[in-house]
Amino acid sequence: MTTADAGAGHAGAAGGTLAGGGSVPGFRHVYSGKVRELYQADDGMLLLVASDRISAFDWVLETPIPDKGKILTQLSIWWFDRLTDVVPNQLVDAPIPAEFAGRAMACRPLEMLPVECVARGYLTGSGLDDYRRDGAVWGIALPAGLTNGSRLPEPIFDPDSKAPSGQHDENITAAELNSLVGPETAAELARITLAVYRRGADLAAERGIIVADTKIELGFDDSGVLRLADEVLTPDSSRFWPAESWQPGRSQVSFDKQYVRDWLTSPASGWNRYGQQPPPPLPADVVEQTRRTYVTAFERITGKRWRG
């Protein structure tokens, strides 16, 4: 069975639609993730439903972002369709219950791998932290003088292990990855992750968007086929930067949930991300700007107008 959003984050505020997973005729609720709910039909088919919840720093925030679940779902479907020659996915053609219209995907069950597969094309986030400490990312030495937002000479595969609920995912070495999944599967994960990143980065570049990094998940179906799962190249799983404002050496303008992270770590929130208290509710202006950011990402990447 697929495990959507492995680890449900800190207990407490779930917020948004579908919190806890409601009753759906013909389906059994089997899992609540940070953002998604997972249901299973009697024939084994899965229903992956994206809520409007948003997570940051391993917390599920109290305040939902309107339309977020539908945007994540519709953008993932758009990308899945454009990646079928790169990697098969878990989508199946099946009816979606009316109450989940626009925010659910019908999926085949997968045995998910215990790895978050990350590709980095630009230096930011934890990759920047690694570079500043070691001059390298995932053991790959990089040129001196790179800075926040620098483009890497080549995209780098930089996987994490999936941590238990409420804990941070941890970077793993090549040897640890081989131990987790075996050398052949590890090589396939690297190949697929970089191929997905390159295809996504190329298509997004045509629309003036830089994909700085992205995270995907994969699992085996019952025939042993490795398939792309859950979501792909969304504002939750990627960093999207408008190409026209990209400038290395500073934090970048972004079309993703970085806006929420920035507010939570600002004096305005009054929150200590390293403490034990949950984050405060998001103010209305942060909610609206975050929604607008997700809509902008959808519209610029797909070329379609968001109609909710």
pTM of the predicted model as reported, rounded to 2 decimal places = 0.90
3-state secondary structure of 269: coil
pLDDT tier at 19, thresholds 50, 70, 90: very low
pLDDT tier at 26, thresholds 50, 70, 90: confident
Instruction: Give yes or no for residue 132 having a pLDDT over 60.
Output: yes
- Separation of alpha carbons 296 and 204, rounded Å: 13
Compute how many other C-beta atoms are within 10 angstroms of the C-beta atom of residue 153.
10
Residue 15 lies in a domain: no
Mean pLDDT taken over the chain? 90
Burial of 5-16, coded b for 16+ CB within 10 Å and e otherwise, reads: bbbbbbeebbbb
Type of residue at 91: L
Do both 220 and 72 map to the same domain?
no
Quote the pLDDT of residue 17.
Answer: 40
- Separation of alpha carbons 289 and 159, rounded Å: 31
Quote the pLDDT of residue 58.
Answer: 85
Do both 149 and 79 map to the same domain?
no
Do both 155 and 270 map to the same domain?
yes
Which of 72, 107, 142 is the last residue before a domain boundary?
A: 107
Quote the pLDDT of residue 163.
Answer: 61
Quote the pLDDT of residue 29.
Answer: 93
- Which of 159-163, 179-183, 214-218, 236-240 comes out lowest in average pLDDT? 159-163
Angle at 79 between CA 282 and CA 308, to 5 degrees: 45
Angle at 219 between CA 80 and CA 83, to 5 degrees: 20
- Which of 118-127, 130-139, 167-176, 240-249 comes out lowest in average pLDDT? 167-176
Rounded average pLDDT over 3-19: 37
Do both 126 and 98 map to the same domain?
no
Quote the pLDDT of residue 15.
Answer: 35
Domain region containing 103: 27-107
Residue 72 lies in a domain: yes
What is the domain count for the chain?
2
Quote the pLDDT of residue 109.
Answer: 95
- Over residues 156-172, the pLDDT tens digits come to 999 998 765 445 567 89
Q: How far is CA 77 from the centre of its chain?
A: 14
Type of residue at 247: Q
- Which of 8-17, 141-150, 179-188 comes out lowest in average pLDDT? 8-17
Quote the pLDDT of residue 162.
Answer: 76
Nearest to 232 by CA among 211, 251, 253: 211
Residue 137 lies in a domain: yes
- Over residues 151-209, the pLDDT tens digits come to 999 999 999 987 654 455 678 999 999 999 999 999 999 999 999 999 999 999 999 99
DSSP line for 232-243: -S-TTTEEEEEG
- Separation of alpha carbons 264 and 282, rounded Å: 8
The single-letter DSSP state of residue 268 is T
Name the CA dihedral angle for 235, 240, 241, 243, rounded to a multiple of 10 degrees. Answer: -130
User: Looking up tokens 């034990």, which residue turns up?
Assistant: 276
- Separation of alpha carbons 131 and 16, rounded Å: 37
Distances (CA, A) of 26 to 39, 48, 58, 70: 9, 14, 32, 22
Do both 41 and 149 map to the same domain?
no
- Separation of alpha carbons 259 and 85, rounded Å: 33
In this structure, what are the phi and psi dihedrals at residue 246, rounded to the nearest 5 degrees? -65, 130
Do both 38 and 177 map to the same domain?
no
Instruction: Give yes or no for residue 131 having a pLDDT over 90.
Output: yes
